[in-house]
Structure 1
């Protein structure tokens, strides 16, 4: 049994400063005495800081393992229970915030500084808040629970063959919140403030308007992970190994205030007429607003909402298999070649965009009509009607699956487990055990990574939610070739060495050590984007290309003498149509960041004066050949600085000396 707890606290020096008693208080803020009110200006330095945030991260666990040796079998079995708590709080604007903007004192309707004038500080002195807000003390107490068992057998089948067989089973229980504050989007629940159009919030807990349960998502019980491995000695110097397994990741707590809609109130009033009328007057304070909790299925109407999609505790999984042959060569060398593969499924991603308008609507109506009001003559002429009687908004918003919301978010709550990846690699390794003053390790990896999710939670949502096959491409971190070599060599001079074992020459030339590390690694693939938008609320933008060849400008990648750009000019890629989605894959395996070549050396020696006193000297050289890797720059075809080299990716040549005296 065990436990672990670490805490994090971030606070302003202004916190708990007795500001209300000192006459500094924004009326109607949740707690104006907690911190100095945050005051911002459109043209001056802001005042005040966040009242702080923090977290308490507790893990409780209990388990045991049992080993039993019987004949040629070595059985192992065990159990583990874990309960992970995340208790977080945030008081970013609990004492309120005010923004003074020059538009409040400018000529109405003229937002140009040179002709319309205006001054943010003057607006503040007049007590006119262009915008502001407050939020309540956000406390979240998430609890995630899991159980796992395993059983395995190491079977010594013969003198040459050992087989490992095992299975692991794990499951995760539904997540709960300490005060039952969970909320979740439900696609088929009638929304009362959208004329009962499907799609509304539901709330955990007990009482009116709640679901009378502590959780809103089911557990996951499918974590069966078989494992197999073997080692076979072909002869005294050659060993064959193979293994395969299915394994699982972990369930993560949600980020920020996701799935706490209604329990957390973030109020942000803003002037509705560009400063002609203030959002509120400073002496009157913030206008009245609903106080939490708000157990209202329509609470998030007009905003983003979060959906677990019953995937909150579904564990990411990995399928791994490997085959290797290891051979001893002589008395000091060992050579190994292997094939390794990993396929990831149900990875935490950010691809899903459930409230995207289908691309067919863009093809049918065009961007301008999609951006027009649902009550416009063009919309009426096209036969587009309101999704529900009280709807007000654009045509594009009306055509969303859930027009009462902006985005249906699945990433932040880890409800998007749609990611997939595959990695295959051949590895060659050569090791030399320390002998004759030399130790060496070298490896070469030839690999390929294909995926639609390059990082945890993903970088961008899909180009088209309804055709996510477009996301599969070479991986962002794919490096086809990876060669590394390291060695340490003790020069054969001095006491105990082959030459110059005694005398002054022994002391001068003996004890020197040379070490080096070489790496030669392929660059990672590059992407192209543009600024195309379609008014369908899709994710990333993709460029339109006619070829994947020749993207990089024709300069010597090693020297780049006289080069000012990495990519070809924009004209090389042709016009970027705005009536269709771009056809370029997410990354191009034929256009890559310059390869990483590096050589680092060190020279070291110990000068012994007596048995207890010595001086260690070290001289280290990094990037010995002063190789330069340029950053490809901006990869957006619509940016005026597209493709221009603006930075260096690696460090220039550097050396350092060090002395250490022992006495």
Structure 2
């Protein structure tokens, strides 16, 4: 019996600091502005930009690292304890074990703690009109981007002030001129427990079984001070629901064409739901998935001295990771925009030396509850809000194979591999226009008819009605948002399940995938001079991890963008049989051997079928879209290539849709693939033996030796001039390298 105990404690810190101490007060900032910088002792950031498509010029003043997240500090702690017990009972080797891990991550950022001030020609132009001239540039653009306008804004009023910055006028923009008075900070912890049992059972000298089971429990993420947005409440009525319904009803009654203009009757207009936050009584970001039982079964049978049969089945859980995308802290950071003028530059109310005369936007934390982010978007298309009942992805894997040794030390192996994934994360937007209001183009008899239906739906749903939310958020941080002040909203907005928000992205755990593959391998083991390794894989990967249309009930069953059905590789190492201790010239003179002995040649070849083209743009096709075929990378017969000199596939029948029509083109098609990938790498090396274990190797390498370009990022938008053409090369051109290595 053997007891093995392993423990680990590690700490890693990612840290960024500005490089030069500086007192911002010496620049003439007001005492209020300096106080808002909260001890920031570096030169703030100043962007001076003159920009147009032909003459981009941008200068950034500030201390080293004087940019966003200057002052970032991110220590990460990992602790683990892994005791295991091994004992032998007859033909059984038994192992029992426990795996405990604690991961703690802390993040402290300062954002633009000292402020960011952006200068261009917006307020130093001679015109603010936007009429277009013959050069297709507007007066505003040409004057704002003329050289010197940005510097003039920076130096504005310099002669009247002895301070370095005078009373320069930055440009008003919430993303350009601002100060972060409260920035994101968190201290999160994730706890993991794992238990396992394994029995290696030698049934006979030829048959061995491996039996086991593992159970894993990954507890929900917690934050030390509960500064976490947990998820989304689907049902709780909004505090403004009654007032919004009353305003909607009043607008309905006042419109004689209400039956046409208002697609939703007042009794159907509901304002409910919103984000939820962690509390002292409910701290976990999610509840632990308790269904992570993972049985394992393996078998190996020696059919004869040169043939072995193997098989295995197991269920494997994918653990979560503590990543910043999971930690959502909306409300716990605050930025104050610099608004220099309220009348387009006729008069100025704020300058650099007094940039925030009206005070600062406070961080409101979780105090707004479900009213947080009204008028905005929650989550993102790739990082939805995490529900309480989060699930770990699980994969069931089966492998059945045979290995056979042939004459000449050549070993061949064939395996069938299958994998089923379930409980995969799916990001879904809950805020979509109901299906009955969206254009169904299935009845269209041509692309022109489909385009007309699409345009009609877009015109109607983009049209506006009276804004029922106007002035309902006056006493909240959303008081000045367009959502609170606008007189109208779109009809589409009023039809959303949660009309007080734009997009509401949440995670679901109903995704699945299926992988099947035949894997073949042949290996010529090192025999004197030559080693060969040849592999071929034929596979198929399908998945259901997204919705083709937001209102779809079922996930789209599609070929995965990671599917590459055919893959072939070849690798060889050849020691030239010339020189001392080789087949020819075994007793060769050392001086002669230094020139003609000790040479080695290596080579690899890789070919892989192209992956499916991602058709992320909403598209309609009149006809059988499965008949479309990609010729990407092929010669076009006229000296050019498909995907470069002409579209990779026939684009004539594809129509780009607006936001309010049902697409009928899948997001991937088996026949629409990127060009195949192929690469050849070669190397030649010369070894010099110096005796007593010392050796020098001189090596020359040619990566992508035949300079095969591999293009990616093909445009899938019919409205783009580069539609069905490549704009980016993924691999590197031919790369020649020389090196020397001394081994002793």
Range of TM-score over shorter length: 0.7 to 0.9
Q: Deviations over 1:166-222 (max 9, x none)?
A: 11111122321011212333222332245483213433335xxxxx43335322212
The residue number in structure 2 matching 1:407 is: 503
Q: Does 1:606 align with 2:671?
A: no
Match of 2:578 among 477, 493, 500: 493
CA contact (8 A) 1:263 1:292 kept: yes
Corresponding position: 1:234 with 2:303:
yes
In the TM superposition, residue 520 of structure 1 has moved relative to its aligned partner by 1.8
Q: What CA deviation, in whole Å up to 9, does each residue of 1:365-390 have, x standing for no partner?
A: 822232232229xxxxxxxxxx99x9
Deviations 1:23-50 (A, max 9, x none): 3468457425414333345635344432
CA contact (8 A) 1:26 1:32 kept: no
Is the counterpart of residue 291 in structure 1 residue 362 in structure 2? Answer: yes
Q: Is contact 1:311-1:417 (8 Å) kept? A: no
Matches within 5 A, 1:584-603: 584-603=665-684
- Aligned-residue CA RMSD in angstroms? 3.6
Match of 1:13 in 2: 19
CA contact (8 A) 2:201 2:209 kept: yes
Contact 2:563 2:612 in 1 (8 A): yes
Report the Cα distance in structure 2 between the residues aligned to 1:237 and 1:85, rounded to whole angstroms. Answer: 51
| Distance in 2, Cα, partners of 1:647 & 1:559 | 23
State how far apart, in whole Å, the 2-side matches of 1:278 and 1:315 are: 58
CA distance in 2, matches of 1:25, 1:313: 49
Q: Note the C-alpha offset of 1:256.
A: 5.2
Contact 2:466-2:487 within 8 A present in 1 as well: no
Q: Which among 603, 628, 632 is matched to residue 516 of structure 1? A: 603
Question: Is 2:527 the partner of 1:449?
Answer: no
> Could you say which residue in structure 2 is the equivalent of 1:63?
82
1:110, distance to aligned residue in structure 2 (A): 1.7
Kindly tell me: are residues 238 and 659 of structure 1, through their superposed partners in 2, closer, same or farther at Cα, counting changes over 3 Å? same
More displaced 10-residue stretch of structure 1: 464-473 or 480-489? 464-473
**SS of 1:567 mapped into structure 2:** coil
Separation of aligned partners in 1, 2:277 and 2:291 = 26
- Whether the 8 Å CA contact 2:96–2:197 is kept in 1: the answer is yes
Which of 530, 550, 554 is the aligned partner of 1:438? 530
> Does the alignment pair 1:319 with 2:390?
no
CA contact (8 A) 2:619 2:654 kept: no
Matches within 5 A, 1:343-492: 343-349=420-426, 351-363=427-439, 366-375=457-466, 393-410=489-506, 415-453=507-545, 462-467=547-552, 469=554, 471-492=556-577
CA separation of 1:655 and 1:233: change in aligned 2, threshold 3 A: same
C-alpha spacing 1:507/1:375, structure 2 compared with 1 (3 Å): closer
1:87/1:274 Cα in 2 relative to 1: closer, same or farther (>3 Å)?
farther
Please, which runs of 5 or more residues in structure 1 have no aligned partner?
207-211, 377-386, 454-460, 531-540
Q: CA contact under 8 A between 2:169 and 2:340: conserved in structure 1?
A: no
Report deviation, 1:249: 1.2
Aligned to 1:379: none
Aligned to 1:525: 612
Where 1:467 maps in the other structure, the secondary structure is coil
Q: Does the CA-based 8 Å contact 1:529-1:543 persist in structure 2? A: no
* Aligned partners of 1:449 and 1:474 also within 8 Å: yes
Structure 2 counterpart of 1:188: 235
Equivalence for 1:166: 212
CA distance in 1: counterparts of 2:13 and 2:234, whole angstroms: 37
Given candidates 306, 310, 332, the residue that maps to 2:387 is 310
Number of aligned residue pairs: 626
SS in 2 for 1:360: helix
CA distance in 2, matches of 1:409, 1:278: 42
Deviation at 1:303, TM superposition (A): 2.1
1:36 aligns to 2:81 (yes or no): no
1:567 has 2:638 as partner: no
Q: Is the 8 A contact 1:67 1:75 kept in 2?
A: yes
Equivalent of residue 109 in structure 2, options 73, 90, 95: 90
Distance 2:274 2:690 in 1: 80
Does the residue aligned with 2:437 lie in a helix, a strand or coil?
A: helix
Residue aligning to 1:115: 139
8 Å CA contact retained: 2:524, 2:531: yes
* 1:622 to partner: Cα distance: 3.2
Q: Aligned partners of 2:616, 2:277: CA distance in 1, in Å?
A: 40
Deviation of 1:348 after TM superposition, in Å, equals 3.7
Alignment of 1:138-149 (within 5 A): 138-149=184-195
Does the CA-based 8 Å contact 2:18-2:71 persist in structure 1? yes
- Match runs of 1:124-143 below 5 Å: 125=156, 127=169, 129-131=171-173, 132-135=177-180, 136-143=182-189
Per the alignment, do residues 320 and 511 of structure 1 end up closer, same or farther by CA in structure 2, a change over 3 Å counting?
A: same
Shift of 1:506: 5.6
Deviation at 1:620, TM superposition (A): 2.8
Inter-partner Cα distance in structure 1 for 2:106 and 2:84: 30
Q: Which residue of 2 aligns with 1:219?
A: 288
Q: CA–CA distance in 2 between the matches of 1:26 and 1:417? A: 52
Aligned match of 2:277: 203
Structure 1 residues 271 and 249, CA, compared in 2 at 3 Å: closer, same or farther?
Answer: farther
39 and 430 in structure 1: CA distance in 2 versus 1, 3 angstrom threshold: same
CA distance in 2, matches of 1:333, 1:148: 41
Cα offset for 1:612?
7.0
Partners of 1:279 and 1:339 lie apart in 2 by: 73
- State how far apart, in whole Å, the 1-side matches of 2:321 and 2:723 are: 38
Change (3 A) 1:348 1:54: farther
Give secondary structure in 2 for the equivalent of 1:251: coil
Correspondence for 1:535: none
TM-score (structure 2 length as normaliser): 0.75
Cα distance, 1:404–1:288 mapped onto 2, change above 3 Å = farther
Deviation per CA, 1:284-332: give whole Å up to 9, x if none. 5153355234412223222223574535752221111110111122362
Matches within 5 A, 1:44-55: 45-48=59-62, 49-50=66-67, 51-55=70-74
Shift of 1:54: 3.1
Deviation at 1:553, TM superposition (A): 5.3
